[in-house]
């Protein structure tokens, strides 16, 4: 019998994954990422398969448990009965557990550093053999990324432990290996750890061995780390290349060979490995690296029979005065934030997908990437070096969730950022970041993390990094006073807020590390931001949030769709807030990416004040325009000329030149758009010759009076002639003109139009003030709340009075209406005057609308002001002269050229991952929508001479889009709904950021506009 005095307990120890004092066990020191090759020839391939490398990626055995304490014991586990799992990969995308998305909050009880003992656990197991020829060497086992913490066993013996999901972990397993050939490797991964409190990034919570696992072989005396420093002299015409190596074992002869970007040998040196190699590069051999000129030298380092190859670039980053400079120039960041995402594999991103992303960015004129919010896969930095991007690479730290608990940044910081017990954990992540990627030219800034508030631990990180690498500047947004940062950084500030800040803080430059929240249909207002970046010397750019939606492909029977928070039954969740990129979840560009590419284009053309010349501005920081072919052509309604070469003088970087127009504008009889294009003159790694880098359209009004923008007076009756009949039957008024019959519902205001017995209008045109919501409307500062409070969605027409008059050739029907919502007293008092005119052909319907907003509770803005018409679904072919071909809105239309376009109604629809308002086109001169069955077209244009309009044609009502949460929720209606808008509300970026700017708001002010509709066959 057990003694009554005996005391038992469980678990009897503090697990490593819940112990702040244990970050790593038995891991090797952080180092630069590299591979060792047997000789120079293989090193120059940069193919790791040619190096002393053996991949352990592939199929592993896997066992999933709710807790580490329930996981199998390795000495008794029958792994042959376990499931198969693919490494690298996350287990939630392979049938275990479920993905969960939160933006800010921690999805578990918050008691740092503790996490629950009910902690989903994945046990991985496989066999491996050491390659022939590796005997007698140090064998290292390296994990490039494991979320969130793990232990490792080799041949049943525990090797060590590590945490820090997006950082590498490397173990010396030499002494654990079997001499008989086959070895076993076991890895136990814990979904949560004390490190999770520092990994609260705005993304899916996903777990497992999600990056490469592999073996490398090192000689007992070998290079274990190196730091290459390409230093640029003050004149930027020469530089010094320095190489410093770290050796394990005994020092010996070190060889360094330097190859130019063209592959020519610039230097071969042999000396002691204890010596820092130094070589001056000057004259024609010296080429600077920048995002515009990504010139890379190859450095080959040979020691003890092994060769390491590294691409490096000469570039200088510094603070000078109140700016940060790259190669002596105050560059502008035209950037994006990039999470690692793949819609089928989650955080595991194939190389080809990553490279395709960066090529698309380069083609879109993007020059900078912030690695939100953690170090990315090592190959990302190789591609960024090669293609040319300025990289702000971020430590794997975010603890946004504490702000939910405390409410203020100062109080939230006390949990970890300003808590000395966490200093080592913060410094560890800084060290891992810097050591791994210190040799990459693309990295111009180290970032201390994201949304962790500010405290002593950021200050400690800043100090350590500055001592280790003073050649780069340091960024941290939540250090609002820039005490431990070299620049000021903000998120989602409006241009006015930026101007206020820069007026009060002139000591350092300002960037927006996040702006223009690219959620769904938006952002709007990019033009104003870029104009400020380019005009204010302290404003050095920004990075759009973010590059891609994070939808995960979910299959439910025959149904496939891109899922977001909550779609996996995950609670808590932040729903569709993860759908906030410039590309769809499958990384297809959205209209917002095209808009951004246009606005940040490196060349712009504007009409000079004399209107006979144009100003060509080069926005590059380092190169002239000699790498681009310039051409021009003209666009008129009904005519586009052939492209012709445009001769330009040399336009140096950052300068402009005024040149004569290639045509005489006085010879133009009607409005013309002079289109100027700049195309790549030669093939690039990221695009073929002929790729359009920049373009602009210059508006030349011409001499015709038809281009006047003066408003037209109400129609005047013409001399009577035969052919028009008016008939009233109680609440219905019917006007017949030839084969057309136009009906007016005197009770409800509806208008119908039949021609040759075929229905054209099923309803309308009538006043409309409603559109579907965008995700930005629904955002934290969006207009949806105001519109909901005002019951805008319930607005409908009430007829107050109708009068009519007619002659044989013209009839006028005058409706006085009130368009108002339910519940409240405010509304629109309006006059709708319909005039039907006959002639030799079918009648013309002229609609003149005037009105004003009246009453208490009137909102400041409404979604739109215009006319809505419902047509038969056979009206499906659309042609227009205006902006196109893609969708565009008043604050997001720069990417769409003026021209003549055609599309089906279905093609006009933009298929967002999250259904919302879409499909508008701006600045129309005319529109034709054709009945594909009869060939009859309805022609629409403004009756106010010279005025333009916008249109949307759709098979969905606003309520259909508002109610749909996924594309599969939408069922096309058997009708075509046509909106002709006098005004509409801009997009803005209010999901996180400002509402549409003042000039893009659809204000509740008096309106007066007219449209003219006619039939064509």
Q: Which residues are catalytic?
A: 451, 514
Tell me the C-alpha distance between 987 and 890, whole Å.
Answer: 8
To which residue do tokens 């990969």 refer? 89
Residues pairing with 878 in the sheet: 903, 929
Q: Are 510 and 544 in contact (CB under 8 A)?
A: no
Tell me the C-alpha distance between 769 and 300, whole Å.
Answer: 67
Distances, alpha carbon 954 to alpha carbons 592, 750, 794, 947, 961, in Å:
20, 20, 20, 23, 11
Residue 528: both structure tokens together: 């104003």
Tell me the C-alpha distance between 933 and 470, whole Å.
Answer: 71
Give the residue from 498, 465, 509, 506 showing the smallest Cα distance to 484: 465
What does the angle CA 619 – CA 369 – CA 240 come to, to the nearest 5 degrees?
Answer: 75
Element (H, E) at 906: helix 905-908
Tell me the C-alpha distance between 230 and 239, whole Å.
Answer: 7
Q: Are 37 and 43 in contact (CB under 8 A)?
A: yes
SS (H, E, C) 9-46: CCCCCCCHHHCCCCCEECECCCCCCCCEECCHHHHCCC
Residues pairing with 553 in the sheet: 562
Which is it for the CA torsion 440, 443, 444, 448, positive or negative?
A: negative
87: alpha, beta or left? (left if phi > 0; alpha if psi -120 to 50):
beta
Residue 526, helix vs strand vs coil: helix
Residue 870: both structure tokens together: 């419902």
Q: 722 exposed, middle or buried (CB, 10 Å; 0-12, 13-18, 19+)?
A: exposed
Residue 75: both structure tokens together: 């000495």
Residue 467: both structure tokens together: 């001592």
Strands 333-337 and 539-544: parallel
Residue 12: both structure tokens together: 């009897």
432-464: b (≥16 Cβ within 10 Å) or e:
bbbbbbbbbbbbbbbbbbbbbbbbbbbbbbbee
Q: Are 154 and 164 in contact (CB under 8 A)?
A: no
């Amino acid at each position: 019998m057990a003694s009554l005095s005996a005391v038992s307990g469980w678990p009897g120890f503090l697990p490593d994954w819940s112990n702040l004092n244990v970050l790593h066990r038995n891991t090797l020191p952080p180092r630069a990422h590299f591979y060792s090759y047997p000789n120079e020839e293989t090193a120059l391939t940069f193919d790791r398969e040619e190096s002393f490398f053996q991949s352990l990626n592939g199929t592993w055995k896997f066992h999933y448990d709710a807790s580490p304490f329930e996981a199998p014991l390795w000495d008794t586990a029958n792994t042959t009965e376990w499931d198969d799992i693919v490494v690298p990969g996350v287990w939630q995308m392979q049938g275990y557990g479920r993905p969960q998305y939160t933006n800010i909050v921690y999805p578990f009880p918050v008691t740092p550093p503790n996490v629950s003992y009910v902690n989903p656990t994945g046990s991985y197991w496989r066999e491996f053999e050491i390659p022939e020829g590796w005997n007698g060497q140090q064998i290292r086992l390296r994990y490039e990324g494991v979320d969130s913490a793990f232990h490792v066993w080799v041949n049943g013996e525990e090797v060590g432990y590590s945490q820090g999901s997006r950082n590498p972990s490397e173990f010396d397993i030499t002494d654990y290996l079997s001499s008989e050939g086959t070895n076993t490797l076991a890895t136990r991964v814990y979904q949560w750890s004390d490190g999770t409190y520092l990994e609260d990034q705005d993304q899916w919570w996903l777990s497992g061995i999600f990056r490469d696992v592999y073996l490398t072989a090192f000689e007992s005396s070998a290079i274990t780390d190196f730091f290459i420093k390409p230093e640029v002299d003050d004149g930027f015409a020469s530089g010094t290349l320095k190489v410093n190596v770290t050796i394990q074992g005994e020092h010996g002869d070190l060889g360094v060979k330097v190859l130019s970007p063209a592959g020519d040998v610039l230097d071969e040196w042999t000396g002691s490995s204890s010596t820092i190699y130094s070589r001056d590069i000057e004259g024609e051999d010296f080429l600077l690296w920048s995002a515009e000129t990504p010139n890379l030298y190859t450095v080959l380092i040979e020691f003890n029979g092994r060769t390491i190859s590294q691409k490096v670039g000469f570039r200088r980053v510094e603070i000078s005065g109140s700016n940060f400079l790259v190669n002596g120039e105050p560059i502008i960041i035209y950037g994006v934030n990039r999470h690692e995402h793949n819609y089928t594999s989650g955080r595991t991103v194939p190389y080809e997908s990553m490279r395709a992303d960066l090529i698309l960015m380069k083609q879109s004129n993007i020059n900078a990437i912030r690695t939100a919010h953690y170090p990315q896969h090592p190959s990302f930095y190789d591609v960024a070096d090669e293609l040319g991007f300025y990289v702000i690479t971020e430590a794997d730290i975010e603890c946004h969730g504490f702000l939910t608990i405390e409410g203020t940044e100062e109080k939230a910081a006390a949990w970890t950022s300003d808590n000395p017990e966490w200093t080592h954990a913060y410094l560890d992540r800084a060290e891992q970041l810097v050591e791994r990627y210190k040799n990459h030219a693309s990295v111009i800034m180290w970032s201390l993390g994201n949304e962790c508030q500010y405290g002593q631990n950021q200050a400690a990180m800043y100090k350590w990094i500055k001592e280790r690498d003073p050649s780069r500047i340091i960024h941290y947004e939540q250090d609002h006073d820039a005490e431990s940062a070299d620049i000021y950084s903000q998120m989602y500030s409006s241009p006015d807020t930026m101007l206020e800040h820069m007026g009060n803080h002139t000591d350092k430059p300002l960037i927006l590390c996040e702006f223009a929240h690219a959620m769904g249909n938006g952002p709007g207002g990019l033009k104003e931001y870029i104009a400020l970046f380019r005009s204010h010397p302290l404003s050095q750019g920004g990075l759009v949030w973010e590059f891609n939606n994070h939808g995960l492909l979910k299959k439910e029977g025959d149904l496939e769709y891109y899922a977001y928070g909550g779609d996996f039954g995950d609670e808590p969740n932040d729903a569709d807030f993860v759908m906030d990129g410039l590309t769809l979840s499958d990384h297809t560009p959205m209209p917002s990416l095209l808009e951004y590419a246009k606005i940040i284009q490196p060349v712009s053309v504007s009409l000079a004040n004399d209107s006979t010349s144009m100003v060509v501005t080069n926005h590059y920081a380092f190169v002239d325009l000699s790498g681009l072919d310039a051409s021009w052509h003209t666009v008129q309604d009904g005519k586009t000329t052939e492209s012709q070469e445009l001769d330009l003088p040399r336009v140096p970087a950052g300068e402009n030149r005024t040149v004569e127009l290639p045509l005489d504008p006085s010879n133009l009889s009607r409005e013309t758009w002079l289109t100027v294009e700049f195309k790549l003159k030669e093939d690039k790694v990221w695009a073929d010759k002929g790729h359009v880098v920049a373009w602009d359209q210059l508006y030349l009004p011409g001499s015709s009076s038809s281009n006047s923008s003066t408003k037209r007076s109400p129609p005047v009756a013409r001399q009577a002639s035969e052919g028009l009949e008016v008939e009233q039957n109680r609440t219905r008024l019917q006007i017949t003109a030839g084969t057309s019959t136009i009906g007016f519902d005197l009770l409800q205001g509806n208008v119908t139009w039949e021609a040759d017995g075929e229905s054209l209008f099923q309803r309308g045109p009538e006043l409309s003030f409603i559109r579907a919501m965008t995700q930005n409307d629904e955002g934290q500062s969006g207009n949806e709340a105001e519109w909901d409070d005002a019951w805008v969605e319930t607005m409908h027409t009430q007829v107050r009075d109708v009068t009519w008059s007619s002659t044989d050739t013209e009839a006028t029907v005058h409706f006085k209406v009130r368009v108002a919502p339910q519940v409240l007293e405010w509304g629109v008092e309006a006059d709708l005057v319909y005039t039907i005119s006959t002639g030799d052909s079918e009648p013309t319907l002229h609609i003149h609308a005037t009105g004003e907003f009246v009453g208490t509770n009137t909102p400041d803005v409404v979604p739109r002001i215009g006319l809505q018409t419902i047509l038969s679904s056979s009206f499906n072919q659309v042609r227009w002269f205006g902006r196109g071909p893609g969708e565009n809105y008043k604050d997001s239309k720069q990417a769409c050229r003026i021209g003549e376009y055609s599309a089906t109604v279905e093609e006009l629809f933009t298929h967002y991952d999250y259904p919302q308002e879409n499909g508008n086109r701006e600045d129309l001169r005319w529109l034709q929508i054709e009945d594909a069955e009869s060939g009859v077209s309805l022609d629409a244009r403004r009756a106010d001479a010279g005025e333009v309009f916008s249109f949307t044609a759709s098979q969905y009502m606003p309520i259909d889009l508002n109610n749909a949460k996924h594309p599969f929720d939408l069922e096309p209606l058997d009708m075509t709904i046509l909106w002709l808008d006098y005004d509409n509300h801009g997009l803005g970026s209010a999901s996180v950021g400002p509402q549409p700017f003042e000039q893009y708001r659809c204000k509740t002010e008096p309106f007066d506009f007219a449209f003219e509709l006619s039939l064509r066959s």
